[in-house]
Amino acid sequence: SGWPVSPQMRLVNGPNNCSGRVEVFHSGQWGTVCDDDWDLLDAKVVCRALGCGVALEAPDQAHFGQGRGEIWLKDVQCSGNEGSLLGCSSDGLRSNNCGHSEDDASVVCSVYNFNGRFI
């Protein structure tokens, strides 16, 4: 598929580094994930992979603003136990029937404080 073993992911436009629009890095550029079929199980995988505790929400419809550039993944369907989005079923790279108005696969994760407690 051309993906590295563990692709870089980040959350953007959120109130903290554990909430925001999901973006993945591939072929030298950041891209978005279409929110078609996006749900709390998918968010669970992202939150765990980023060390952000548990998934509280999986917002869609440009909740954290529309992305730009490539839309790397579409129709992501995770069981919730995968180590990254790569382990989940998806339509793969550059699916062309998803526009930036619907590419806001987002997450809201719990955030740990320095004592290891949720805040």
Domain CATH for 88 = 3.10.250.10
Q: Kind of pairing, strands 55-57 and 106-109?
A: antiparallel
Q: How many structural domains does the chain have?
A: 1
| For range 57-64, the mean pLDDT | 83
Domain membership of residue 67 (yes or no) is yes
| For range 66-72, the mean pLDDT | 83
The predicted-structure confidence for 8-51, as pLDDT tens digits, reads as follows 889 999 999 899 999 988 888 888 888 888 999 999 999 999 98
Determine if residue 91 is left, alpha or beta; phi over 0 gives left, psi from -120 to 50 gives alpha, anything else beta.
alpha
Long-range contacts of 88-91 (CB under 8 A, 24+ apart): 88/42, 88/45
Domain membership of residue 3 (yes or no) is no
- Contact of 47 with 18, CB cutoff 8 Å: yes
- Contact of 85 with 42, CB cutoff 8 Å: yes
pTM of the predicted model, to two decimals? 0.83
Domain limits for position 35: 9-109
